[in-house]
Chain A
């Protein structure tokens, strides 16, 4: 049984044929060729697949694809407009927020959601909000600096 799923992806309407068992991550990566959300664990543990769903950070691997019907999904591909990097992306580059880069998309999405909710987070709040995103290369301090720097410059 397949269904036609329609939603807004990075501001544009998209459609895909999906099975009820498909996750949003399956649809993005395998059907729509949006590869920035990564399959780090496929079980909700690592945060590498994080995307924005109507502005809230969710794990695409745990999101049943059919539930996003008519909603807005944003991935890292949708963060930079017309090739212009967002301040957060610039800050990740400036502070060395990535080594292998495999966790970076999920980190950027979670940090974007965090700053939207709380434009001036304290270190402790950043640690709390970002705790669902793992970075095995160990860029946690650099990522925290990048978020603090973005918040400071946004003043």
Chain B
């Protein structure tokens, strides 16, 4: 063991990287392999009136098309099982939603075939803004739901609420209440390797899928449900991922490649181009965060009231799960005697939001830290001092009631100041996370 501790060790796979020997999924070739491409919704919301492949089928090299009718199991997947594999009941809810897949000899043929599909969609009114979507008369993103707000706790609780103490009491004790509203935008992971799958039947007739999944066991379970196949019949081969950053926590190509193999029997590759990967994979979703912070003139925080709205796009992805993380950490590493956080996940006709690095914790942190600066400004206090006075000490309590152990915000801030060449006053440098001694 001692030969490893405190030493820089090369990655176990670094030699493969520097010699070009590592085989990523797009580097795999299987004899007779066909190309899969997907027909996607050109509109943000609509009902498919007619879908006709007859002209596309005349292109030499086209094998055929896969639609929702070809799914042997569930046409739904994801952590909350609400994302369709291919447009169900002829409805599309975001621009780029998969409608059907073509299997063809090569990419050029597949793209030519897609351009010849006659697709008749009746466009419906979409909604893109969370606050518009929450109005009572807003068009429904999901025609079968009561509202555009995700039900976090069935049957009807749409809000995630976390409370510690009594916020009203805390606000009454404050000398000032500082208000701020913050928003964070949509972001794509853009890993260097786009999403890709290679799938085929092996000599035992098992389905083999080479995947770039970063959540391989969860995805295997989802594939079993979609394909109505037992795990023993699927060889799901992963582990070689060219970057993911949360973007490969959801299936983007494996399910459709697998359906193509089940229907036509040919080995296939389904690879997203960079343009497709940027437009059609899951994103970090947009947030709006509203902070009201009560504070004494000496800088001690008394209360915090946080409201969070999270835009998940047309389907839930992992957003409701990320939202809970966001809510829990939005107050930041600060000791609020009274705090209440209310958060919701909202559907709009935008691309699906899901996980991305740090999940949704950092969206709350961005808002919380900008807001702390604003509080300091309102008090005419140095922002370092405000943070030092209120940072968690061992034994402080977070919003869900957990006791903080091994707190380290003060030590981290001291180190950050040192690295940034900022000299902090002795009063701050003598503080420790081990306790809040009267200074």
A residues whose Cβ falls under 8 Å from a Cβ of B = 29, 33, 35-36, 38-43, 45-46, 48, 75-77, 79-80, 85, 89, 92-94, 96-105, 108, 134-137
Contact assessment for A134 and B19 in the assembled complex, using a CB-CB cutoff below 8 Å: no
Contacts of A35 in B (CB 8 A): 20, 23-24, 27
> Given A41-B274, A93-B14 in contact, is the A105-B20 Cβ separation under 8 Å?
yes
| Candidates A39, A75, A89, A94; contact of B26 at CB < 8 Å | A39
Tell whether B143 is near chain A: CB-to-CB under 8 Å. no
Q: A35-B23, A98-B11, A101-B242 are in contact. Are A135 and B17 (CB under 8 A)?
A: no
A46 and B189 alpha carbons, distance in the complex (Å): 14
**Does any Cβ of A come within 8 Å of B22's Cβ?**
yes
Using a CB–CB cutoff of 8 Å, the interface residues on chain B facing chain A are 8, 10-11, 13-24, 26-27, 29, 189-194, 241-245, 273-274
- Cα-based distance from A15 to B26 in the complex (angstroms): 23
- CB pair B18–A40 under 8 Å, yes or no, is no
A137 proximity list for chain B (CB < 8 A):
192, 243
Which B-chain residue is minimally distant from A91 (CB atoms)?
A: B18
**A89 and B191: CB pair below 8 A?**
no
Distance of A147 from chain B, by nearest CB (Å): 13
- CB neighbours of A80 from chain B (8 A): 19
Q: Determine the chain A residues whose CB is within 8 A of the CB of B243 once the complex forms.
A: 99-100, 102, 136-137
Asked whether, in the complex, the Cβ of B242 is within 8 Å of the Cβ of A102, the reply is yes
Tell me whether A76 and B193 are in contact (CB under 8 A).
no
B17 lies within 8 A of A75 (CB): no
Query: In the complex the two chains form, what is the Cα distance from A98 to B18 in whole Å?
Result: 8
Q: Determine whether the beta carbon of A89 is less than 8 Å from that of B192.
A: no
**A contact patch SS:** loop
Q: Would you call B17 and A92 a contact (CB within 8 A)?
A: yes
**8 Å CB contact of B192 from A29, A92, A102:** A102
Residue of A nearest to B106 (CB): A30
- Whether the Cβ atoms of A134 and B192 lie closer than 8 Å is yes
A89 to B20, CA, bound (A): 11
Q: Establish whether residues B10 and A94, one from each chain, have CB atoms under 8 Å apart when the complex forms.
A: yes
A25 vs B243: C-alpha distance in the bound complex, in angstroms?
Answer: 21
Contacts of A39 in B (CB 8 A): 26
> For A42, what are the chain B residues with a Cβ–Cβ distance below 8 Å?
273-274
Contact of A76 among B18, B194, B242 (CB under 8 A): B18
Query: Could you give 18 example pairs across A and B, Cβ below 8 Å?
Result: A29-B27, A33-B29, A36-B21, A38-B24, A40-B274, A41-B274, A43-B274, A45-B274, A46-B274, A76-B18, A80-B19, A85-B18, A92-B17, A94-B10, A97-B18, A98-B17, A98-B18, A102-B192
Q: How far is the CA of A137 from the CA of B26 in the complex (A)?
A: 19
Given contacts A96-B14, A104-B17, 8 further A-B contacts (CB under 8 A): A36-B20, A38-B26, A77-B19, A80-B19, A96-B10, A100-B192, A136-B191, A137-B243
Q: Closest A-chain residue to B14, C-beta based?
A: A93
Closest 9 interchain pairs by CB?
A36-B20, A102-B242, A101-B17, A76-B20, A35-B27, A102-B192, A89-B18, A98-B17, A41-B274
Closest partner residue, chain A, to B192 (CB atom): A102
Q: Given A40-B274, A42-B274, A93-B10, A104 and B193 touching (CB < 8 A)?
A: no
**Are B192 and A93 closer than 8 Å at their CB atoms?**
no
Q: Which residues of chain A come closer than 8 Å to B241, judged between CB atoms?
A: 100
| A135, B193: Cα distance in complex, Å | 11
Closest A residue to B193 by beta carbon equals A102
Neighbouring B residues of A99 by C-beta, 8 Å:
11, 243
Q: What is the minimal beta-carbon distance from B10 to any residue of chain A, in angstroms?
A: 5
Which residues of B are found within 8 Å of A76, using beta-carbon distances?
18-20
Q: In the bound complex, how far is the Cα of B273 from the Cα of A153, in angstroms?
A: 40
Q: Which of B17, B18, B192, B273 meets A136, CB within 8 Å?
A: B192
CA distance A77 to B16 in the complex (A): 11
Task: State the Cβ distance, B357 to closest chain A Cβ, in Å.
Answer: 11
Known: A42-B273, A100-B241. A136 touches B190 (CB 8 A): yes
Assembly CA distance A136 to B189 (angstroms):
8
Q: How far is the CB of A66 from chain B (nearest CB, A)?
A: 18
Residues of A near B26 (CB, < 8 A) are: 38-39
A100 to B241, CA, bound (A): 6
Contact at B20–A93, with CB atoms within 8 Å? Answer: no
A35 to B242, CA, bound (A): 14
